[in-house]
Amino acid sequence: MRVLMIGPDRSVHGGISGVVNNYYEAGLDKKIDLCYIGTMVEGSKVRKLLKAAGAFAVFLWKLPGYEIVHVNVASDASYVRKSFFIRAAKAFHKKTVIHQHGGDFEGYYRGLSDKGKERVREVLAMGDAFLVLAPPWKEFFGGLIDKDKITVFPDSIQIPEKEEKRYGQHKLLFLGRICKAKGVGELLSVVPLLKEKCPDIKLYLGGIFEEKELEDKVRELSDCVKWLGWISGDEKKKYLKECDIFVLPSYFEGQSVSVLEAMAYSCAVVASNTGGIPQMIINGETGILTEPRSEEALKEGLNKVLSDTALCESLGRNAYDKVEKEFSIDSNMEELLKIYESILKR
Q: Write out the DSSP string of 61-127.
A: HHGGG-SEEEEEE-STHHHHHHHHHHHHHHHTT-EEEEEE--SSHHHHHHTS-HHHHHHHHHHHTT-
- What pLDDT was estimated at residue 18? 85
- 204 domain residue, yes or no: yes
Averaged pLDDT, 173-185: 95
Instruction: Spell out the alpha helix ranges (H) of the chain.
Output: 15-26, 28-31, 45-62, 77-91, 105-110, 114-124, 135-141, 184-197, 212-220, 233-242, 257-264, 277-280, 295-307, 309-326, 329-345
Confidence category of residue 273, pLDDT binned at 50, 70, 90: very high
Q: Provide the number of structural domains found in the chain.
A: 2
Let me know whether 85 and 189 are in one domain. Answer: no
Q: What is the mean pLDDT of residues 245-255?
A: 92
**168 CB neighbour count, 10 Å cutoff:** 15
235 and 123 in a single domain? The answer is no
pLDDT digits (tens, 9 = 90+) for 10-68: 998 888 888 899 999 999 999 999 999 999 998 899 999 999 999 999 999 999 999 99
The model's confidence at residue 275, banded by pLDDT at 50, 70 and 90, is confident
Q: Measured between alpha carbons, how far is 297 from 326 in angstroms, rounded to an integer?
A: 28
Domain of residue 27: give its range.
2-156+328-345
**Residue 143 banded pLDDT, cuts 50, 70, 90:** very high
Calculate mean pLDDT across residues 127-155: 94
Residues 314 and 332 in one domain: no
pLDDT at 165: 93
Task: Specify the pLDDT at position 346.
Answer: 81
Average pLDDT for the chain: 94
Whether the pLDDT of residue 109 is over 90: the answer is yes
Do 178 and 128 belong to one domain?
no
The whole-angstrom separation of Cα 120 and Cα 125 is 8
Does residue 165 sit within a domain?
A: no
Rounded distance between C-alpha atoms, residue 210 and residue 254, angstroms: 19
Per DSSP, what are the bridge partners of residue 5? 36, 70
* pTM of the shown model: 0.86
Q: Quick one: CA dihedral 77, 80, 86, 88, positive or negative?
A: negative
pLDDT given for residue 325 in this prediction:
93
pLDDT confidence band for 311 (50 / 70 / 90): very high
pLDDT tens for 216-246 read: 999 999 999 999 999 988 999 999 999 999 9
CA distance 211 to 107: 21
> Quick one: what percent of the chain has pLDDT higher than 70?
100
Q: How confident is the model at residue 253 (pLDDT cuts 50, 70, 90)?
A: confident
In our burial notation (b when 16+ CB lie closer than 10 A, e otherwise), range 200-232 reads ebbbbbbbebeeeebeebbeeeeebbebeeebe
| CATH number (domain holding residue 81) | 3.40.50.2000
